[in-house]
Amino acid sequence: MKQDIDEVSAIQRYPIGFKYPIKNPLDLRSFYYGKAGAALNTNFGAKSVVPQLVNFASINAPMAQGDVLLAIDVALTDGAEGDGVIGKDELAGGYLTLFTPAPMHSFTRMIVANTATTGAGGVTVMVVTVDKPFPVDVVVLNFHAECMANPYAGVQTGNFSLASVVGIPTMPATLALPFLWLQTWGPVWVNPSMNEGIGLSNREVCFMANGGISMIDVANANYSHQAQRAGFILPNLRDGSEGAPFFFLQITP
């Protein structure tokens, strides 16, 4: 490997979102390649903090069934800063959902590339390249599209209550050394609340706002099934107490 899971890099070695090739068939873990948007703490879940970049955009030009290029109108309120500015290939590795006219159907594709927009004039056209053609002819009237960026790009640890954890950093990456691997599945340790796995059949855990974990408590809205499920507790100590705790992370296999 050009960059292993215990390394960070200033140079991007793999596509963002690339899955690490596990060679040991006994290893239960999964790792995906990511980029830090700030300094990362390995004790807490890394969150996808980039907002949805394009909201219910109009189609700018027709697209025939079998084509992979879609021209959409980017509004002045779109983009990470809400100024209509989206960089070239900023959406690569993200996803586009196409909505048809009534009776509405939706089709989701991965984004391979996109042209840049400037926000000048209020609305600018962005051409998005998707991985597979849509199964319908796309006309301008009453078709719309929405776009999100790659969830592994610009991840951060910290208190982001409106963002979801996409992985656990394997190394403390920084803005100077932002490229790293994120664990998304399998046994791992994450900063606990000291209540995980305690009590009869108390096995499920969720992510807290800071990216640590807590037992799921249906009486507490912050830590109930309203929160993002993280996985389940593995071993307790011999006396039934918490231990580390090790837990089995369940985000992306």
What is the amino acid identity at position 191? Answer: N
| Claim to verify: residue 86 and residue 197 sit in the same structural domain | no
Q: What local confidence, expressed as pLDDT, does residue 225 receive?
A: 64
| Claim to verify: residue 160 and residue 214 sit in the same structural domain | yes
Closest CA to 247 of 166, 168, 155, 152: 168
| Claim to verify: residue 34 and residue 92 sit in the same structural domain | no
| Claim to verify: residue 89 and residue 78 sit in the same structural domain | yes
CA distances to 40, 96, 152 from 75, rounded to whole Å, are 32, 16, 24
| Claim to verify: residue 161 and residue 112 sit in the same structural domain | no
- Give the phi and the psi of residue 207 in degrees, each rounded to 5: -85, 140
Q: Answer with the one of 123, 148, 173 that is the final residue of a domain.
A: 148
* The two three-digit tokens of residue 34, written as one number: 């990511």
Please state whether beta strands 153-155 and 30-36 pair in parallel, antiparallel, or not at all (unpaired): parallel
| DSSP codes of every residue in the chain | --S-TT--BSS--S-TTPBP----TT---EEEEEEESS---TTS-EEE-PPPSEEEEEB-S-B-TT--EEEEEEETT-STTSSSEE-TTTTTTSEEEEEPSSSP-EEEEEEEEE--EE-TTSEEEEEEEESS--SS-B-STT-EEEEE--TTEEEB-S--TTSEEEEEESS---SSS-EEEEEEEEEE-----S-TT-STT--EEEE-TTS-EEE--TT-GGGSTTSPEEEEE-PPPTTS---S--EEEES--
| Claim to verify: residue 155 and residue 252 sit in the same structural domain | yes
| DSSP codes of every residue in 64-79 | -TT--EEEEEEETT-S
Q: Is 195 left (phi over 0), alpha (psi -120 to 50) or beta?
A: alpha
| Claim to verify: residue 160 and residue 178 sit in the same structural domain | yes
- What is the extent of the structural domain holding 88? 54-148
- Give the phi and the psi of residue 222 in degrees, each rounded to 5: -70, -25
| Claim to verify: residue 135 and residue 98 sit in the same structural domain | yes
| Claim to verify: residue 124 and residue 66 sit in the same structural domain | yes
The total number of structural domains that make up the chain: 2
- pTM of the prediction? 0.92
pLDDT tens, position by position, for the chain (253 residues)? Answer: 899 999 999 999 999 999 999 999 999 999 999 999 999 999 999 999 999 999 999 999 999 999 999 999 999 999 999 999 999 999 999 999 999 999 999 999 999 999 999 988 778 999 999 999 999 999 999 999 999 999 999 999 999 989 999 999 999 999 999 999 999 999 999 999 888 888 778 889 999 999 999 988 766 666 666 789 999 999 888 888 887 778 999 999 9
Separation between Cα atoms, residue 145 and residue 73, nearest integer Å? 9
| Claim to verify: residue 59 and residue 21 sit in the same structural domain | no
| Claim to verify: residue 110 and residue 204 sit in the same structural domain | no
Q: Answer with the one of 121, 148, 175 that is the final residue of a domain.
A: 148
| Claim to verify: residue 157 and residue 245 sit in the same structural domain | yes
Q: Answer with the one of 131, 148, 165 that is the final residue of a domain.
A: 148
